[in-house]
Structure 1
Amino acid sequence: MSPKQTEDRRYLAPIDTASTQQLFTDCLVIGAGVAGLRAAIEAASNCDVTLVCKGSLSDSNTWQAQGGIASVLDSDDSFKLHIADTIRTGCGLCDDTAVGLVVRSGPELILQLIEWGAEFDKVAGRIDVTLEGGHSRARVAHAHGDSTGRGIAEALIRKVADTPNINIIEHFYTIDLITNDDNECVGAIGYRPRTGFEIIWAANTVMATGGGGRLYRETTNPDAATADGLAMAWRAGAILRDMEFVQFHPTTLYIAGASRALITETLRGEGAILLDCGHKRFMQAYHEDAELAPRDIVSRSILDRMLKTNSTHVYLDIRHFDKEHFKKRFPLISELCESFDIDVSADLIPVRPSAHYMIGGVKTDMEGRTNIAGLYACGEAASTGLHGANRLGSNSLLEGLVFGRIAGANASTEQNSHIRRPAYRRMKYDIGVSDRSRLDASDVRNSLRALMWRNVGITRKGRALTEAREIIEFWQRYVMDKVFDTPFGWECQNMLTVSYLMAQSAEQRRESRGVHYRVDFPDVDDANFARHFELQRPTA
């Protein structure tokens, strides 16, 4: 971003240690999804841990994940095949080392989850696995039918609660990472409704703040997914990578006036078909794998069909499913459909794509380290190189487990940091009063989400991306210079920051690759763009 947009603003809120409550910990973990929980558990083996989350422990993308977790669990599958599927889906940008590390760690970590109480669905005493788009073998394990994320999260939360040296602080809104004069991360400043501003000093910090689906009007993500972690990492000087890559889930329930609800692609893996508004099957015309094509292809195909038929949605047809089996296998979706009087044995399910997963994030190495000493990242907030330009379905929960464990281990044992144990530091950061007009944060948020959906969505073109960047830049001039005192305002500032970076990266990638599709540059251009785009805030 240009200097005008942030006016060298390092922190969103004033900081004065003389009047702010302070806590001290060895390892601070920000975020309570699968990656954050797993990081906290691992770190607690070596030190005291403080785990903070924006809402409650259940307010995460992990909790809402339906389909499952991908891992090699069947005799007809292999690491080689899972690796090949992941790399093929990543369209030339996967890090082979990251892919191999994650895939090979899968079976061990799933067995560990079972030891901790996770209850995966079984058939004849073996973990049941199913097929999803992009996978060459059935390897997606599921729990409680279509509540896999919740099943995994509950097991991890129980483990965290049973670990005495993990201090859990819910409803803690992390505003910013705190760095010292050597640009080492020394903790974070946050806000709790009951106590106000608090500073947590930490020898090492693990950022597992999730993604930013709420930057879009249409999304499967919960309200908390406003990309706060990416924005605070950007302000601290962390390198962000692949910000143009956002995955859109092809099938979310479309009921006008209702929030979008995920309809897992496992349904298509088990035989559901897509029909247009004329009740005609169409996916065979777009890809040889039809409904089992990778998510980016299915999403674009649905969008194209909607445009050609002048409709707001397409349909998912499961009328041929056994209704009782469906109810047992997919209880969450069954209940959801019934709540809208959809009889799946007779009615079609209206669906359309929605923003689902941030592939880009804070750049890390294979040890979970960022470019800032003392700061680690894992989960959806990190860019590890696993996904490349497109995520293979159900690889995200696995990535969270693998890199959560790695980041937690290193954050609790690294000996090369100059920070050591945290200590009290006198700090004062003032923010001047702006004389510019104030825009309504609620209006800006709603307008931003509509703009992102329209201009930085499933299909993109240069003119629209430039327009998005210019409009966001205008809003920033009247929002980023203000001092807010509630999470709603800070979220708005974070959403503007990250949306701008996404539009900027998408504008610069003048090709189509994976989830990034440019109407004006529809082909892959390996000669110029077989590389990652990295962004870093210029220092003052």
Structure 2
Amino acid sequence: MEDTTRRSNLLVIGSGLAGLSAAVAAAEQGLTVTVLSKSENLTESNTLYAQGGIVETGIGDSPDLLIRDIIDAGSGLNNSRSVRILAESGPELVADYLVRKAEVPFERGEEGEFDRTREGAHTVRRILHVNDQTGRAIQEQMLGYARSCPGITLLSGHIAVDIITNTHHSTDYQQRYKRHRALGAYVLNQQTGEIRPFYAESTVIATGGIGNLYLHTSNPESATGDGIAMAYRAGCSIINAEYVQFHPTVLFHRDVKRFLITEALRGEGARLLNTKGEYFMERYHPRLRDLAPRDEVARAIYREMDGSTGYVYLDARDITHVNIADRFPGIYEQCKALDIDIVNQPIPVVPAAHYFCGGIKVDEHSKTEIDGLYVVGESSCTGVHGANRLASVSLLEALVFGIRAGHHAAIQQKPLRDNLIASIPDWVYPKQPIDFDPLLIQHDMFTLQSTMWNYVGIVRSKRRLDRALADLNYFTHRIEKFYQEARAGESILALRNAVLVGTLITKAAAGNHRSLGCHYRTDSMH
């Protein structure tokens, strides 16, 4: 079983919506597909934690209107071609894959029509949702559909370590003069501790984002930029890396981390309130106020917190047109467990790292410069989001470009020759591997997260970025040496990837002196 698993037409690294979309699209074309998840739980992904919803089509809506909203939110830095592909094909793919095939139970009204909500910077209500747990519903249903597709093998507890390429790994020196081609990945089986090559005609990176590089984030612990680091080491371009989006409202509580308070709550009328009892967003964006683009709201909260408290409030007490407990059951129950009655009490919130608008450069089929290597979801940079992502577009991008990657991989199949595979060496282990001390790894990760949060966060400056680069340079040498000597494991692999991606983000931020979207510098050159 393992030998056939380790050789497939398509290798997908990551089991969120983007990876599953690529997998099912390819399997429907007759390809054999292996999907890897580094978690023991295949549902664990950024998709699982998405609350608000997924963009479809609203009443009085049109592709051109959605395009305008996406580009306005992205400060015009968007790839216009990718935005149009998303806007024109997205609603049909939602209907086909999520509604019809995966049977995601989106909320409906009494007459059976979809219940659409609105979030920040959207001009109409066009977002489908499953109350406030849309990501969980999509993840579980798509995983169920993937399991029903012939040709798909799902493996949990498997961590991709590095992308295998002909030019870098082959012992046939003639390969270094050939076109750069991905052949699969070296993969760590967490149960056995072995690292073995998994081969495929095409490989898809779908490893999610970078939120866990920051001290405060809405992302799961697995979001350490693994795919971005692997692609960079393989020779891919990383673009727009300075554009890290901070979600304005993550629950502030000493006993709970990473709990997102969806923007849809503000879409239904919740307002931001400082600790002086002032509703403040009108001062920062008189027209859109609490539904301004995320970068502007996050910076407004940052300023309201600065020098006083470590949080502000989100006030939902005036919402009467919907039942809060029914419409937002996840948020209601989580806050209730912490003795916060959101019907009668405001919710303490802080901004937190949420979404990476940059990533691995890909074309309109999500293909990289390396033959046979695709990237989908948050690891990729299709250019859809520009300098700042519009709310609830991420799941749609994951679906649309995941499907496009799966279809393109099926069309572009180039068989791997046996002699090429035979030229790839087995993984080389350290002669006397060191069992790393978990406390050292945890401390290094905490130090990295603190550096990124303090110096490469919501507000940046030359001095902060220079300090970050100096610290990251020191971390890099120490961690890389440790990686070369240590026995491979999830935490050391994540730390190695995180410090590399943190450095890429910081260098991009230091090199861009112009504030735009979610990259904001106090010393900006306009």
Q: Note whether the superposition's TM-score is higher than 0.5.
A: yes
2:514 counterpart of 1:511: yes
> In the aligned structure 1, how far is the partner of 2:492 from the partner of 2:128?
39
Report the Cα distance in structure 2 between the residues aligned to 1:71 and 1:135, rounded to whole angstroms. Answer: 12
Superposed CA deviations along residues 310-333 of structure 1, whole A, max 9, x for unmatched, are 111000111123498111111100
Give the conservation status (yes or no) of the 8 Å contact 1:210–1:380: yes
Aligned to 2:291: 292
Aligned counterparts, 1:320-359, within 5 A: 320-322=318-320, 325-359=323-357
CA contact (8 A) 1:173 1:487 kept: yes
Partner SS for 1:354 = strand
Aligned residue among 58, 71, 77 for 1:93: 77
Letter paired with 2:347: I
For 1:77-88, list aligned pairs within 5 A.
77-88=61-72
Structure 2 SS opposite 1:362: strand
Q: 1:52 aligns with which of 36, 40, 49?
A: 36
CA RMSD of aligned residues (A): 2.1
Counterpart of 1:341, as a letter, is D
Which letter maps to 2:246?
Answer: F
- Cα distance between partner residues in 1 of 2:117 and 2:72: 20
Contact 2:164 2:182 in 1 (8 A): yes
SS state of the match for residue 28, structure 1? strand
Q: Give identity over the alignment, percent.
A: 39
Mapped partners of 2:297, 2:21: distance in 1: 32
Aligned to 2:20: 37
2: CA distance between counterparts of 1:343 and 1:324? Answer: 16
Question: Aligned AA for 2:132?
Answer: D
TM-score (norm 2): 0.91
Q: Say if 1:212 and 1:225, in contact at 8 Å, map to a contact too.
A: yes
- Alpha-carbon spacing, 1:21–1:336, altered in 2? closer, same or farther (3 Å): same
Matched, 1:132 2:111: no
The one-letter code matched in structure 1 to 2:71 is I
Give the SS at the match of 1:27: strand
Alpha-carbon deviations, 1:104-151, whole Å to 9, x = none? 1122112111112111101121111111111111111101x0011111
For 1:24, the aligned partner's letter is R
Q: Indicate the SS of the match to 1:85.
A: helix
* Distance in 2, Cα, partners of 1:275 & 1:381: 34
Whether contact under 8 Å (1:206, 1:411) holds in the other structure is no
Q: Show the counterpart of 2:151.
A: 165
CA distance in 2, matches of 1:52, 1:85: 35
Matches within 5 A, 1:443-458: 443-458=443-458
Counterpart AA for 2:334: L
The amino acid of 1:57's aligned partner reads L
CA contact (8 A) 2:5 2:34 kept: no
Matching residue's letter, 2:278: K
In the aligned structure 2, how far is the partner of 1:506 from the partner of 1:81? 31
Q: CA deviation at 1:256?
A: 2.4
Q: Hey, what's the Cα distance between the residues in 2 that align with 1:314 and 1:399?
A: 31
Output the CA distance in 1 between the equivalents of 2:424 and 2:398: 35
**Deviation of 1:426 (Å):** 4.0
Is the aligned partner of 1:103 residue 2:87?
Answer: yes
User: Which of the numbers 58, 61, 68 marks the counterpart of 2:46?
Assistant: 61
Do 2:312 and 2:350's aligned partners in 1 also have CA atoms closer than 8 Å?
A: yes
**In structure 2, what is the Cα distance between the partners aligned to 1:371 and 1:240?**
11
Q: Counterpart in 2 of 1:536?
A: none
Measured after TM superposition, the shift of residue 198 of structure 1 is: 2.4
1:184 aligned onto 2:181: yes
What is the letter of the counterpart of residue 62 of structure 1?
T
Alpha-carbon displacement from aligned partner over 1:32-59 (angstroms, at most 9, x marks no partner): 1111000000011231010111112211
**Does residue 523 of structure 2 align to residue 520 of structure 1?**
yes
| 1:278-289 superposed matches below 5 A | 278-288=276-286, 289=288
Q: How does 1:100-499 map to 2 (within 5 A)?
A: 100-112=84-96, 113-116=98-101, 117-123=103-109, 124-143=111-130, 145-181=131-167, 182=178, 183-195=180-192, 196-288=194-286, 289-307=288-306, 310-322=308-320, 325-415=323-413, 417=414, 419=416, 423-428=421-426, 430=428, 440-482=440-482, 483=484, 484=486, 485-499=488-502
For the residues of structure 1 that align with 2:343 and 2:4, how far apart are their CA atoms? 58
Structure 2 distance, partners of 1:345, 1:136, is 27
What CA distance in whole angstroms lies between the structure 2 residues aligned with 1:109 and 1:172?
Answer: 30
SS of 2:249's equivalent in the other structure is strand
Alpha-carbon distance in 2 for matches of 1:324, 1:136: 20
Displacement of 1:23 in angstroms is: 1.6
Give the structure 2 partner of residue 529 of structure 1.
none
Task: Tell me the secondary structure at the aligned position of residue 350 of structure 2.
Answer: strand
Preserved CA contact (<8 Å) 1:230 1:362: yes
| Aligned AA (1:362) | I
Cα distance in 1 for partners of 2:424, 2:246 equals 45
Classify the secondary structure of the residue corresponding to 1:86.
Answer: helix
**Aligned mates of 1:168, 1:426 — CA distance in 2:** 24
SS at structure 2 position matched to 1:251: strand
Offset at residue 430 of structure 1 (A): 4.7
Contact 1:254 1:260 in 2 (8 A): no
Q: Distance in 2 between matches of 1:418 and 1:506?
A: 41
Counterpart CA distance in 2 for 1:282 and 1:361 is 33
Does the C-alpha gap of structure 1 residues 357 and 318 become closer, same or farther in structure 2, counting only changes over 3 Å?
Answer: same
Which consecutive residues of structure 2, in runs of 5 or more, have no partner in the other structure?
Answer: 168-177
Count of paired positions = 499
Matched residue of 1:267: which SS?
helix
Quote the offset at 1:431 in angstroms: 7.4
Between the aligned partners of 1:77 and 1:241, the Cα distance in structure 2 is 31
**Deviation at 1:75?**
3.0
Q: TM-score, normalised by structure 1?
A: 0.89
